[in-house]
């Protein structure tokens, strides 16, 4: 059995980031992941799973040494953001209002993960077990971690970065508060006839939002929220049938499209009742999942990484008190983001006439809110 300071279960974007961060602190780290990201080839099709990476997340990734590699592969900066229900009542944001070149970047999740995995090669104190998965966890310090391969690892701290259905969370006996939004989210990669690679927009409808995220080379990612039944119908269509549905149900801003690929997933909110147990800590989706309405999921996950690394920096022993300090730094911010997205979602997910008038007036007022609008934008981008 090999002894490590930290065992990171889950090598996705957030797990890989926390592994590199702990390695930079000089700790011995083992990463356990079920599947490695495929290598990047410039002319390969874009992945369906993409994220809106905020400026704050860029700064975190840059400190971890990964952003240069990400930017050299494939990113799409966006400068404008618009949201509306009635086309005449819009809230618009522009990078110029903050004196910035862009509001953020749309990046394929795999590219972020791959760039972080490339950093593993720079740290001899990182050991990777892939493909492999967690089977059992004995939390007597040091922890004993048993893997599906039969290997046994010893670690002073186990980090659960293994996603929404976290095995670490379950084995640590940490409960969750959760509910189903009774909606599914469909992701559709398209080729666009119109040039619109500098804007991301979102229109609200009673059945759910319709969103556009720009990708490179006249491509875009459409996000379609609807009932599970409706999304199931859409997923059973041919690309040409789906194209016709998109043209009918998306706003005119989109224009004509060519469907490239698509997929879907259910929407569920989860929040761990605590972020840590003795010798275990949760980060990212293992600790919380959020309605993807504003694309903040991975950004708050990277904030978790930043906070955990901050409280453990310079500390020889990662005590339970440090893990509790990490939770105090992150729980309220995560809860505010979750609740804010839920309120926004519920306010716009109905067809009541009176409420429609109020929310459209609010969007129009928000567009002229001056300093308040700017401050909201700065918070969303992770700026001070």
Mean pLDDT across the chain, nearest whole number?
A: 90
Distance CA 183, CA 202 (A): 17
Enter the DSSP assignment of 179: E
For residue 87, what pLDDT is reported? 82
Helix (H, G, I), strand (E, B) or coil at 38: coil
Spatial contact of 12 and 161, defined as CB atoms under 8 Å apart: yes
Q: What are the extents of the domains in the chain? A: 2-48+110-178+269-346
Q: ∠ CA 316-317-319 to the nearest 5 degrees?
A: 145
Q: What is the mean pLDDT of residues 225-230?
A: 95
Show Cβ contacts of residue 36 under 8 Å, excluding neighbours closer than 6 positions.
Answer: 117, 130, 131
Spatial contact of 294 and 311, defined as CB atoms under 8 Å apart: no
Q: ∠ CA 200-206-210 to the nearest 5 degrees?
A: 20
Indicate if the pLDDT at residue 175 is higher than 70: yes
For residue 282, what pLDDT is reported? 98
For residue 269, what pLDDT is reported? 86
pLDDT digits (tens, 9 = 90+) for 340-353: 776 666 655 655 45
pLDDT digits (tens, 9 = 90+) for 350-362: 554 544 454 545 5
pLDDT digits (tens, 9 = 90+) for 100-120: 899 999 999 999 999 999 999
Spatial contact of 78 and 214, defined as CB atoms under 8 Å apart: yes
For domain 2-48+110-178+269-346, the CATH architecture is 3-Layer(bba) Sandwich (3.50)
Helix (H, G, I), strand (E, B) or coil at 57: helix
Distance CA 226, CA 203 (A): 13
- In this prediction the pTM is 0.91
For residue 372, what pLDDT is reported? 54
**pLDDT: which is higher, 370 or 185:** 185
Burial class (CB in 10 A: 0-12, 13-18, 19+), 234: buried
């Amino acid at each position: 059995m090999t002894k490590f300071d930290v065992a990171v279960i889950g090598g996705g974007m957030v797990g890989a980031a926390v592994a590199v961060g702990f390695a930079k602190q000089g700790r011995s780290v083992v990463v356990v992941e079920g599947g490695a990201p495929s290598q990047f080839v410039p002319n390969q099709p874009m992945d369906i799973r993409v994220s809106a990476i905020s400026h704050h997340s860029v700064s975190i990734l840059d400190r971890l040494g990964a952003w240069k590699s990400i930017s050299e592969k494939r990113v799409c900066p966006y400068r404008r953001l618009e949201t509306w229900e009635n086309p005449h009542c819009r809230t618009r944001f522009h990078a110029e209002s903050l004196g910035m070149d862009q509001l953020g970047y749309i990046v394929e999740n795999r590219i972020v993960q791959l760039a972080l995995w490339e950093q593993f090669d720079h740290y001899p104190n990182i050991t990777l077990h892939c493909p492999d998965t967690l089977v059992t966890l004995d939390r007597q310090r040091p922890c004993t971690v048993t893997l599906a391969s039969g290997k046994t690892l010893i670690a002073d701290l186990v980090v659960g970065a293994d996603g929404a259905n976290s095995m670490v969370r379950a084995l640590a006996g940490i409960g969750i508060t959760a509910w189903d939004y009774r909606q599914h989210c469909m992701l559709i990669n398209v080729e666009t006839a119109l040039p619109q690679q500098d804007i991301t927009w979102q229109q609200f409808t009673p059945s759910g939002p319709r969103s556009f995220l720009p990708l490179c080379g006249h491509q875009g990612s459409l996000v379609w929220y609807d009932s599970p039944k409706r999304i199931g119908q859409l997923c059973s269509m041919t690309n040409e049938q789906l194209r016709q549905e998109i043209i009918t149900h998306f706003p005119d801003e989109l224009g004509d499209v060519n469907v490239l690929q698509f997929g879907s997933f259910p929407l569920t909110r989860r929040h761990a009742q605590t972020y840590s147990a003795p010798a275990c800590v949760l980060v990212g989706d293992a600790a919380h999942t959020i309605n993807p309405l504003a694309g903040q999921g991975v950004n708050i996950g990277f904030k978790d990484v930043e906070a955990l690394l901050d409280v453990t920096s310079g500390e020889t022993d990662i005590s339970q008190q440090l893990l509790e300090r990490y939770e105090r730094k992150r729980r309220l911010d995560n809860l505010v983001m979750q609740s804010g997205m839920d309120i926004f979602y519920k306010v716009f997910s109905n067809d009541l006439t009176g409420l429609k008038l109020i929310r459209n007036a609010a969007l129009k007022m928000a567009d002229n809110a001056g300093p308040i609008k700017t401050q909201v934008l700065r918070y969303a981008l992770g700026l001070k």
